[in-house]
Amino acid sequence: MNAWYEQIPGYLYGSSEIARSAVSRQDLEKLKVSAGFTDEDARFLRLAGKVLEGQTEKIVRHWRNGIIANIPNLARHSRTPEGEAIPKYLDASNLRFERWILDTCLRPYDQDWIDYQQEIALRHTRAKKNKTDGVRSTSYVPFRDVIAFVAVMNETIKPYLSAKGNSAEEIDKMHRAWCKSMQMQLALWIGPYSKARQAPEEW
């Protein structure tokens, strides 16, 4: 039997349909050093994964309905150009969003993970946005808004990390590890955004 997340529309982690990134595991090791991401951080991310499992629906609802929906500049990326809701798009991308939280915490940071970071970024650029779900929406998400919204996710994830009775020190270490992973992911996402054809007007 397949895991639940293998049923998520468009969730192709580890599949042969996902293009190989030019970023190697060696590049990622250098990036870890630049971000100060250690084996201890990897351990605390796994703990964070256990803590966040079962909370991801609530977290994504918080981010999407509680925050993004109230920021027209961000909400438009899940809507048609005329501003109409696209429930199918939102449902599928919310499930992928949930799974991404757990992938951040629980997946080994190997070539599959690197490749999927590229796929995630591409799906926010003109190259692939809307294609996975076959919808009509904004043609890309400006990278500046992705970077900025990471600040919101970093701030708002903390209460969920605190929800299972871990010690203050454990919560802090889980949070630090999460924040470092976010910066590494942003650093990987910048690659697809930097392609000459799409970058200048998509920053």
- 11/142 with CB nearer its own copies: 142
Distances (CA, A) of 29 to 38, 78, 182: 10, 34, 15
Q: Are 14 and 5 in contact (CB under 8 A)?
A: no
Q: How many binding residues for its own copies (CB under 8 A)?
A: 41
Report the residue from 69, 106, 147, 163 that binds its own copies according to the rule CB under 8 A: 147
Tokens found for residue 84: 């109409």
Alpha-carbon span 53 to 162, nearest angstrom = 13
Report the residue from 61, 73, 81, 136 that binds its own copies according to the rule CB under 8 A: 73
Which residues neighbour 34 within 8 Å (Cβ) at sequence distance 6 or greater? 187
According to CB under 8 A, which residues from 53 to 72 bind its own copies? 67, 71
90 interacts with its own copies by CB under 8 A: no
Q: CB of residue 145 vs its own copies: minimum separation in angstroms?
A: 5
Q: Are 123 and 132 in contact (CB under 8 A)?
A: yes
48 interacts with its own copies by CB under 8 A: no
Q: CB of residue 84 vs its own copies: minimum separation in angstroms?
A: 22
Report the residue from 5, 149, 163, 164 that binds its own copies according to the rule CB under 8 A: 149
Q: Are 178 and 104 in contact (CB under 8 A)?
A: yes
Q: CB of residue 113 vs its own copies: minimum separation in angstroms?
A: 16
Tokens found for residue 76: 């438009």
Stretch that binds its own copies, among 1-9, 50-58, 79-87, 179-187 (CB under 8 A): 179-187
DSSP of 136-170: ---S---HHHHHHHHHHHHHHTHHHHTTT---HHH
30 interacts with its own copies by CB under 8 A: yes
Q: Is 84 left (phi over 0), alpha (psi -120 to 50) or beta?
A: beta
Tokens found for residue 157: 């994830």
Report the residue from 130, 138, 162, 194 that binds its own copies according to the rule CB under 8 A: 194
- 5/158 with CB nearer its own copies: 158
Task: Provide the binding-site residues for its own copies, judged by CB under 8 A.
Answer: 30-31, 33-37, 67, 71, 73-74, 143-145, 147-152, 154-155, 176, 179-180, 182-184, 186-188, 190-191, 193-196, 199-200, 202-203
